[in-house]
Structure 1
Amino acid sequence: MRKLTLLLTGLLLASFQYSNAQGSPDYTGGLKMKFNEDGSKYLRVISWAQVQANYNLDESLDANGNENSQLSFNLRRARVLMFAQINKDFLILTHFGLNSLNSSTLSPTGKGDGSQLFFHDVWAQYNIGKNHTVGGGLHYFNGISRLNNQSTLNMMTLDNNRQSWATIGLSDQFARHIGVFAKGQFEKLQYRVAINDASASSLDSRTAIAGGEAVYNGRATLGSKDAGKTYAGYFDYHFFDQESNFLPYKVGTYLGGKKVFNVGAGFFLHPKGAVIDTGSETAPDLQGEDVSIFAVDAFYDAPLSDNGSAITAYAVFQSNDYGKDYLFSAYGTGSMLYGHVGYVFKGEATKTRYQPYISYGTHSYDAVSDNRNTLGVGVNAFMSGHNSKLTLEYKNQKFGELDSNVISLQAMIYL
């Protein structure tokens, strides 16, 4: 009875730990239920929600020829993340939620696909030394770049650069694979590597046609023996303050809470992940093509003075090979250059702080002569660091005949 009373008391009182990544004077780490006096055995629970109002500056028509409303609302993310340790040598993490619930994905009784919660992450990990860990499950220890490992709790821009989640829905489940991973560090060099099963289903459900471009569904078409595995890794060298490597989620901006300068490089390989048809219409001959993605990037985040001003800057170059002339949605064989920079104005941490920012990305494709160019201009209002913030952003995207202009206002609360 005494143990039950202590557990309930811990749940109600919510013991906290400080988390520098969130830059909030009112936050000390979320709900943490201690199972012993020194807190080394615990369960920690984190919850967050991002709600958007989006105004499309361009008029459009629906499938029935009716004019669409230019104003729409979106529950961009609703998530719960839990992780626990009863021994410092192992950890279990569970992360579930939903994404982009809007008028198109709502269902009358909440049973439609868009309304459903699903697991984003479920993995177990074991320490094999002071600075090295192995684990397995549905995990987010991705390769390629920092943004392919981006946390959705503390992004500087309204959302992540979509093309940086380079395999989302193609070989994985919402940027997560099932497999095994290893992570750790050698002094200032951090690493994460993984071997995973490729998903048997893909958003790219097209059929390869004779003499045509590649399609990304090699696992489903060629089978798991030939196209069933993916390989990923990311390595970054930390010149100044060392970032946490405890969880895989990379911080978007520290708001001057750390002085960080990292240079990284990463990769993703999926042998025979794509398929082309080298035969004819009457005699198809399906062949696998390797998917290979490589990137180099740099991240800088530092205070500029003692009065609260700070700068955040990031840049990445990414080479994408999804197979011959591949082009599907935002993804295609070619190259990408992306960067963003933001500046936090001076001010007291206990009061609202503002961070204007600008982002720009250009993506070239082998299949077409046009580049996809994306420009974002926005401002964050941090009322309590990342734990309570508003983001206003204008985004323009141009690609071929597409010229999209959207203004978004997002409210986020994170506990």
Structure 2
Amino acid sequence: MGMLPLKKLAAVTALLGGSFCAEAQDSTNDQHKKPQLLKDGKIWLNEDGSNYFKFTLLTQVWVRNTDVNPGSTVNGYAKSNITDIGIRRARMQAFGQIADRVFIYTQVGMNNYSYTADRKAGFFIHDVTGEYEVVRKKLSLGAGLTAWNGLTRYASPSVGSIMGLDAPLFEQTTNDVTDQFLRKLSIYAKGKLGRLDYRLVMSDPMNVTKSAGYSSAISSISNFSPMPANMQFQGYLQWQFLDPEGNTTPYATGTYLGTKKVFNIGAGFQYQKNAMWHQGATGDTVSTDLKHFAVDVYYDAPVNKEKGSAISAYGTFINFDHGPGYLRNQATMNPATGSNTPAVINGSGNGYPSFGTGNLLYAQVGYKFNNNLVGNTTFMPYASIQHASYERLDKAMNYWEAGVNWLLKGHTSKLTFTYQNRPIYEQQTAGNATLTGHKGAFVMQYQVFLQ
């Protein structure tokens, strides 16, 4: 049996104690030491570390002051401004190359736990995936509840490394409608062919009637159809011109803070036959396909490698086709519970029309100052804008954000201070919704990330 029992015991000790890092002695020759079984945050399952298991933890806490949308209420009482504290995300990951060619990935956590949430909200499964590497580096096949998505880079964002306060959530086009916080029941193929990184996915949409606030009422405005769903197909290809990026998990890094030099151009699609429906001019039911296409570009590189300064930039163009007039609001960790003004298209709280049928441009840019700018810390200011021309809006939708990351210890410990500005639309006539003003929010986030 050799050293197998001792190695298993050491691995278990590492799991329980968290700080164990040992060198096992060969029982047949005490003069020769074995490699350590815990290294780089990984529990080694064999001597060279090619088989391993790893755990991570993430916490993001928000403190926020929001000028809420007109007509917003909390428990039926009118409010114009709300200050609240909430847990934006709490996550635990467990994953590893547990045998030759065999990879397993699991993530549990919770999102958007605030004063309006149900008590004792439990962690739920975000991901559970099994994967087999068919051809080394070139082709892996996997299946499960997974974030392997197509369309764009941030259809599957690494939330612990995002540059700004939050990921561009509109790239997750069916978030919590026919999926679970972007995760889908899928089978996928992924890999690298030289500088080409690819992913192709077939997903089984979740029952839309179980999504929050869904109504099966049909009108001239397109909505997700409650009829039995067809499979959804999606893919994303990117050409990596400079340093290659890893694709062990589906999650794309927000910024490397100057530790890599990356330049990628990508393109993607998402398609589902008869995913949508609406009422035609003669009163008949019309089914239409969900069709989205996108291109994007990502650049993240050091400016002065010795001093640690860096720049990060990302841009995308997306053509969304959800059917005629489709529009859906995004209200992240909504601080309000209702609205008494139905004419406001945004809905309550901090909602705004983020998703829709039409064209969208998005850009973000940030600059990391030199390391050790203030003691052992430094800063990374950033700005982003979402500009969309959606069919039901009389003027383009512009949502922008500007802020600064105080990097206390990279992504491991950071404070983010942000101002967000969103447009307000009201349905004043039978035509398109009219832009009537803007509202803002100040947000501070503290992140702790054990990688």
- With normalisation by structure 2, the TM-score equals 0.81
Q: Are 2:181 and 1:174 aligned?
A: yes
Q: How does 1:126-145 map to 2 (within 5 A)?
A: 126-131=132-137, 132-145=139-152
> Structure 1 vs Structure 2: percent identity of aligned residues?
33
Q: Does 1:366 align with 2:391?
A: yes
Contact residue 422 and residue 439 of structure 2 kept, 8 A:
yes
Query: 1-side partners of 2:222 and 2:299: how far apart?
Result: 37
Q: Does 1:222 align with 2:234?
A: no
Are the equivalent residues in 2 in contact too, given 1:373–1:399 (CA < 8 A)?
Answer: no
Q: 324, 333, 336: which one pairs with 2:357?
A: 333
SS in 2 for 1:181: strand
* Structure 2 match to 1:65: 77
Pairwise CA RMSD of aligned residues? 2.2
Task: Give 1 or 2 for the bigger CA radius of gyration.
Answer: 2
1:84 and 1:92 in contact (8 A); partners too: yes
What SS does the corresponding residue of 2:46 show, helix, strand or coil? coil
* Structure 2 partner of 1:56: 66
Mapping of residues 255-404 of structure 1, within 5 Å: 255-278=257-280, 285-305=284-304, 306-329=306-329, 330-348=354-372, 351-400=376-425, 401=436, 403-404=438-439
In the alignment, what sits opposite 2:131?
Answer: 125
> Secondary structure of the equivalent of 2:12?
helix
Q: Does 1:44 align with 2:54?
A: yes
- Runs of 4+, deviation exceeding 6 Å: none
Q: In the alignment, what sits opposite 1:191?
A: 198
1:6 corresponds to: 10
Match of 1:22 in 2: none
Counterpart residue type for residue 181 of structure 2: F
Return 5+ residue gaps in structure 1 as ranges: 17-27
In proportion to residue count, which structure has more strand? 2
Between stretches 321-330 and 343-352, larger displacement belongs to 343-352
For 2:156, the aligned partner's letter is N
DSSP 3-state at the match of 2:155: helix
- Kindly indicate whether the alpha-carbon contact (under 8 Å) linking 1:372 and 1:399 is maintained by their aligned counterparts in 2: no
Give yes or no for contact 2:98–2:104 (8 Å, CA) kept in 1.
Answer: no
Alignment check: 8 A CA contact 2:42 2:54 kept: yes
Q: Number of aligned residue pairs: give it.
A: 388
Letter in 1 for 2:100: K
1:62–1:68 Cα contact (<8 Å) kept: no
What is the deviation of 1:198?
1.0
2:74 aligned counterpart, secondary structure = coil
- With the length of structure 1 as denominator, give the TM-score of the two structures: 0.88
1:94: which partner in 2? 106
Distance (whole Å) between structure 2 residues aligned to residue 63 and residue 334 of structure 1: 35
C-alpha distance in 1 between matches for 2:256 and 2:104: 26
Map residues 206-245 of structure 1 onto 2, 5 A cutoff. 206-210=215-219, 212-216=220-224, 218=225, 221-223=226-228, 227-245=229-247
Q: Which letter does structure 2 place at the counterpart of 1:262? A: N
Partner of 2:89: 77
Q: Distance in 2 between matches of 1:198 and 1:4?
A: 40
Q: For residue 205 of structure 1, what is the aligned residue in structure 2?
A: 214
Q: Is the 8 A contact 1:192 1:235 kept in 2?
A: yes
Which amino acid in the other structure matches residue 11 of structure 2? L
Give yes or no for the alignment of 1:408 onto 2:418. Answer: no
Q: In structure 2, list runs of 5 or more residues that go unmatched.
A: 23-37, 330-353, 426-435
**Could you tell me which amino acid in structure 2 is paired with residue 410 of structure 1?**
Q
* Distance in 2 (alpha carbons) for counterparts of 1:300 and 1:410: 25
